[in-house]
Amino acid sequence: MKISELKLLIIRSLDRNSDPAEASRKLEEAGVCYRFSEGFQAKILERLATSGNTVVREIESVRNLNNIFYRIALTGVAAIVILLISIFMVQGSLSVDSFLGLGTGSDESLLYLLTGN
């Protein structure tokens, strides 16, 4: 098809009364065709397989993090319980002051400790 004919075909194809299917077929015959490269489908399936693996890996790493968190949390709770028991055994009672190590200190000595005066 000559370029001038092609231009006319393009403009006519945009007429609201023209048959779009017919125009599209004629354009394809004239050489206007768009295709993806060879192996397009294989690339998509490969990407899907890779993204699937990524999701699995992400789920596994989140699961590992959760396990680590539970272990740390349990160890922490156990340490706090042991500390409380030891304080109770040494002091004979349990209070916030003794828990913070302030049981025997007075306000003045604490002020001296912090300011040096």
Partner 1 sequence: MIKESYRQKSDGELVKSSLDGDKQAFGEIVTRYQGMVARTVKGMLGDSVFSEDIGQDVFIKLFYSLPDFRGEAKLSTYIQKISVNLTLNEIKRRKRFFSTFSQRGNNEMYEFEVADHDTEEKKDAQELVGKALMNLDPKFRVIVAMRMLQGYSTKETAEILDLPLGTVLSRLSRAQEQMKDILEKL
What is the contact surface with partner 1 in residues (CB under 8 A)?
1, 3, 6-7, 10-11, 13-16, 20-25, 27, 30-37, 40-41, 43-45, 47-49, 51
16 vs 101 by CB, closer to partner 1 = 16
Provide the minimum distance between the beta carbon of 20 and partner 1 in the complex, in angstroms, as a whole number: 5
4 vs 115 by CB, closer to partner 1 = 4
d(CA 78, CA 74): 6
- Long-range CB contacts (within 8 A, 24+) of 4-10: 6/30
